[in-house]
Amino acid sequence: MSEITTFCHSFKKDFIARPQNPQRPVHCWSEKDVLDGKIVDAYVIILRTRGCSWALSSGCTMCGYFNDSMLTTLSEEDLLTQFGVALQGYKNEKIVKLFTSGSFLDPSEIPVRVQQQILSTLNDTADKISVESRPEYITKKNVQAIQEKIPLKYFEVGIGLETSNDLVREKTINKGFTFQDYITAATLLRQHKIGVKTYVLLKPPFLTEQESLNDCITTAKDTASYTDLLSLNPTNIQRHTVVEYLWNRNQYRPPWLWSIVEFLQQSKRLTDAFVKCDVVGGGNIRGAHNCGVCDRRVLHAIEEFSLTQNTEVFRDLSCDCQEQWHDQLDLENLSFGSLVDFARWNP
């Protein structure tokens, strides 16, 4: 095990899962999304599972999804009961996003029989179904099994690539797979007419704001021929993670919203993929934030862009804190990434 792998593992070693009901999903809600160029309703279901297999052995530096996992295998009956509970709030939204805080296609999280039953049920009502998976579970066998079962109009698999740079993915994220693994999985999906969504991580630990922004922009370029959708994922501080460890020591600041705006504008010129960003915890001290005065306005523009792809929404945005953001981009490399987050600093 490398040092970073061991460090990530150390956060789970003595972790005891909270008592949770195996028959209730983590969360379900309705939101807006885009299908065939039109804004439509989407229903999001987060199923509670055993947890991501990678997280159980080590996990990524920024990921605290295991906090909501059972860490023990759930029965097929429990998983289908959860799905049934989730369906009680489903109003035939055209898009259904099925997340597990891990990999939907990992049979140790969701047995194949359960995967197929869930997808066949949704096939009657949804025009698009979106799931997430690590590349190792995107195999010919799995893909063909899904296609035989559900001749869907549109099926999409999201892959948390985070960066096209293998060194950054290995040393700062501890992701456990390579860019080539992503390319192989994405190519297989596209050969089977399945959509590819690629998650890109803004601000992993140990990179400065400028280094991370550059890395995300390069990743947008490098993934242009493999993905249909590029989803920027700004790091937020999740519990029991390496990122939280550093943040507690004032050695990490979540990304600026200005960096997100910069990425969205630049990447739109580099890729034909649909580009979006859901800012989890945006405007909060643990999420991507600016000065506090302009955050709501900027978040609203990011949301609007993510539905319309119109970069004009960013045109009239400005705030005094942009200067501070520029300073951070210019100076942080010189200060070894240890600039103070003034929003937190109350001496």
Which positions lie near ligand SF4, rule CB under 6 A? Answer: 52, 54-55, 59-60, 63, 65, 101-102, 134, 160
The least CB distance from residue 193 to ligand SF4, in Å, is: 25
Strand pairing class (274-277; 128-132): unpaired
Q: CB under 8 Å to 111, separation ≥6 — which residues?
A: 76, 79
Q: How far is CA 235 from CA 162, 185, 232, in A?
A: 11, 24, 10
Residue 26 interacts with which of Zn ion, ligand SF4, none, CB < 5 to 8 Å by class: none
Would you count residue 328 as binding Zn ion (CB under 5 A)?
Answer: no
The least CB distance from residue 158 to ligand SF4, in Å, is: 10
Closest to ligand SF4 by CB, 65 vs 182, is 65
The least CB distance from residue 103 to ligand SF4, in Å, is: 7
Q: How far is CA 15 from CA 102, 136, 191, 194, 244, in A?
A: 18, 26, 41, 37, 15
Residue 65 interacts with which of Zn ion, ligand SF4, none, CB < 5 to 8 Å by class: ligand SF4
Closest to Zn ion by CB, 60 vs 321, is 321
Residue 59 interacts with which of ligand SF4, Zn ion, none, CB < 5 to 8 Å by class: ligand SF4
Backbone angles phi, psi at 202, to 5 degrees: -95, 120
Closest to ligand SF4 by CB, 66 vs 155, is 66
Would you count residue 138 as binding Zn ion (CB under 5 A)?
Answer: no
Rg (CA), the chain: 20
CA angle 286, 299, 347 (to 5 degrees): 40
Residue 63 interacts with which of Zn ion, ligand SF4, none, CB < 5 to 8 Å by class: ligand SF4
Closest to ligand SF4 by CB, 66 vs 247, is 66
The site for Zn ion, by CB under 5 A, has a size of: 6
Q: How far is CA 71 from CA 15, 28, 53, 67, in A?
A: 10, 21, 10, 9
Among 294, 301, 302, 329, binds Zn ion (CB under 5 A): 294
Would you count residue 302 as binding Zn ion (CB under 5 A)?
Answer: no
Residues 161-200: x/- map of binding to Zn ion (CB under 5 A)? ----------------------------------------
Q: CB under 8 Å to 189, separation ≥6 — which residues?
A: 138, 143, 157, 195, 196
* Spatial distance between the Cα atoms of 203 and 215, rounded to a whole number of angstroms: 9
Closest CA relative to residue 103, chosen from 138, 59, 128: 138
Q: Contact, 239 vs 64, CB < 8 A? A: yes
101 Ramachandran zone, left/alpha/beta (phi>0; psi -120 to 50): left
Q: Of the ranges 22-30, 120-128, 233-241, 318-326, which one interacts with Zn ion (CB under 5 A)?
A: 318-326
Which residues ranging from 70 to 99 are in contact with Zn ion (CB under 5 A)? none
Neighbours of 298 (CB within 10 A): 26
Closest to ligand SF4 by CB, 52 vs 243, is 52
Report the interface residues with Zn ion, using CB under 5 A: 290-291, 293-294, 319, 321
